[in-house]
A and B are shown apart, each in its own frame.
Chain A
Amino acid sequence: MSKIVQRPKLKWSERLYLPAIFGGMKVTLRHFFAILTRKKKVTMQYPEEKWDAHLPNHYRGAPTLVMDEHGRERCVACQLCEFICPPRAITIHPEEIASDEKWAKVEKRPKTFEIDMARCIYCGLCQEVCPEQAIFLRKDYVVVGHSREEMVHDKKRLYELGQTMDGLVHKWNELK
């Protein structure tokens, strides 16, 4: 059902528009002088200043790999994130952990782990699917590079960004 709206009848002063224009000007000028006299600050001096403190905990920035509190890489190269990744940004090549190493019990780890940040859409499915709680979207949103190759985060870079995460499920203890 349509509703008919009557066009308001304007007075002659209103039809000049000048009072409304000056009214608007007044607001603009008030802000202009407030900023000019440093009474008010609206511009963030990026990149010297950053928004980071305001980011909520559920913010989805760059995906990263994390270590557990014993310094073990949590990722066991199950490749579920590679499977779920909608833009196919993740490529993993697994390897076997040698039997004389400390975490030989885990048997498997990624030899290479690459996330192509030019492809990543920050959807967070990798974090959601990970059965080992090894991949997390952290708050880094500044992902830059001069070439496509630089946009690919390798394993070293992913751990640099991810660091250690304490207090997660510890799956590979002696009892398992």
Chain B
Amino acid sequence: MSEPTTSDLVDVQIDGVWHQFPKGTRIIEACRQVGVEVPHYCYHPKLSSPGNCRMCLVQMGTPPRTAPGAEPTAPDETGHLPISWSPRPIIACANTVSPNLGIRTKGDLVDDCRKGVLEFLLANHPLDCPICDKAGECGLQEYSMEHGVGQSTFRERKVKKPKNVDVGPRIRLDDERCIMCSRCIRFVDEIVDDPVLGFTDRGSYTTLMVYPGRELANNYSLNTVDICPVGALTSNDFRFQMRVWFMRETKTIDTNCATGCNITVYARENKIYRVMPRRNNEVNSDWMPDSHRLSFHWIDGEDRLSDPMLKAEGGFRTANWIEVIKAAAKRLSGLSGDQIAIVASARMTNEELYVVSKLAKQLGSELLATVPRQGEPDGYLISADRNPNTNGARLILGEKAVSGGLDRVKSAIQQGQIKALLVFQEDLIADTGLDGVSLKKLDFLLVAHSCANETTAIADIAVPAACWAEVSGTMINGTGRLQRLNKALEGPGQTLPVWEIARDLLRALGSDDNCQSVTEIFRHLADDVAEFKGVAWGQIGDQGMPLIETGEIIPLLERERERKAAGIIVG
């Protein structure tokens, strides 16, 4: 889009101060841009604006019309015409700015409107905030505190509606709490093309329903819970698990596919309770798939490795890191480079991959591989590549490691050329078709993984590695965007991130490499790998930055851009 020229800008007065906005800007967005919040329920920048909640009413004024034959009013010394205020309020969400427009978001008229709207919304709303999952982040609670009357004049019986309705496999609906903003209806219709929700009945009896015989079951259904301004739609997974005010928020990214949806992790006392999408208009808009959102439960599972394990008589014994690293270095030091292979994971961060690549250099090993994961793209946000950092692995380990690397490692193992294999964050038996028999041919197998699995069971040394929620670092998504992960949890027991494990091995093998933090590794990485040249950690930010061109597109974003260009949504 080209920069707006001066003639595309219009003068608008907001709460007594003149500003300039491009033509076509919604009044609510104009106010937001200058730091004036207009309360709203039905408006959402990524959805169409039906203007049905009436919460965003503001007072509007235009220049007085000149009577026929009269002299037009002259502009004042600032070049603005006087404003004659309309006695009738307008909605800020669906109206756009016009030249010399005046907007008042405060004052008696606006205050009365807000009080009235809130009183009507609360007339039938149950007072079950103590059990409602939305309490603490509820739009109705917040605006009632800010703009409400505090007391109800409603003396009649409240309208009874269905509660605890099972509308889909992951969602529960409470119709009494619904304030009929229709965000969920518009979301399933406009974004995920699964229009199963709608209103029935009229007036006070308007009820949100799922189409008879259908379910709200699409893979994006939980986004309706996020955009619901009240507790009408709640997630079965999160229902009654934790009150929102207890949880600590960490901004990070999803690692279930190459899209790398931006997310916020909500955790309390080292346990994740929910994951929510975070706005990034270049990656995931405001949404994320349910399958990715709910895939965090294994993190506090029973099968997490918590201590380094050494093979001993009839099984394993737990050991400490010093012992294990010494033992591994001893087993590796006698071997030449072509007897050692390394399988890393494209689920690891760039920093982890970089230290592993250094380890490969130190060992003189040329056989490096990652495990590819391909699936069907869903045409919305899920990419065909189910590894989150294939692009990072390609840049840091080299193209050879990513394409065909695994086949070369496999055949070298089967031919018996390989004596030692180091595996980072991959379960070879479950995910690559390598069987235990050929892996047992190896003299030495070291596996660093977050969970105990079939591969760790036959390893000589199995060590606990931190998972995506327990590390900070960077990844490059399918479209070539460099994005940051932030550590939300501490790993169980003696767990260490892969970069620390690889660094300790490096040092035990005689290297003087002594990186102490991911930011330090990133600095070395930026010096070393051409594509990262000149990029500083602090530059990446919460929204990431484009790093390379891959030509891949995210279908949902393409459709969003079309709708934005057509003026249907704000974007």
Contacts and interface: CB of A to CB of B under 8 A. Distances in A.
B246 A175 contact: no
Question: How many A residues touch the partner, as a band?
Answer: 20 to 34
Contact of B157 (A105, A171, A175): A175
Contacts of A171: 127
B246 A77 contact: no
A6 interface: no
A79 B246 contact: yes
Question: How many B residues touch the partner, as a band?
Answer: 10 to 19
A132 interface: yes
A78 B157 CA distance: 26
A77 B245 contact: no
A83 B130 CA distance: 13
A77 B163 CA distance: 19
Q: Secondary structure at chain A's binding surface: helix, strand, loop or mixed?
A: loop
Most buried by A among B129, B130, B157, B158: B130
Most buried by A among B131, B163, B246: B131
Contacts, number: 41
Given A76-B131, A107-B164, A96 B239 contact: yes
A161 interface: no
Q: Secondary structure at chain B's binding surface: helix, strand, loop or mixed?
A: loop
B274 to A, nearest CB: 15
A171 B241 CA distance: 23
B158 A83 contact: no
B110 to A, nearest CB: 31
A176 B240 contact: no
Most buried by B among A76, A105, A107, A175: A107
A131 interface: yes
A108 interface: yes
A99 interface: yes
Contacts of B245: 83
Contacts of A79: 243, 246
Nearest to B130: A78
Interface string A105-142: 11110000000000000000000000110000000000
Contacts of B241: 94
B131 A78 contact: yes
Interface of A: 76-80, 83, 94-96, 99, 104-108, 131-132, 171, 175-176
Top 4 nearest A-B pairs (CB, nearest first) are A78-B130, A108-B131, A94-B240, A79-B243
Interface of B: 126-131, 135, 157-158, 163-164, 239-241, 243, 245-246
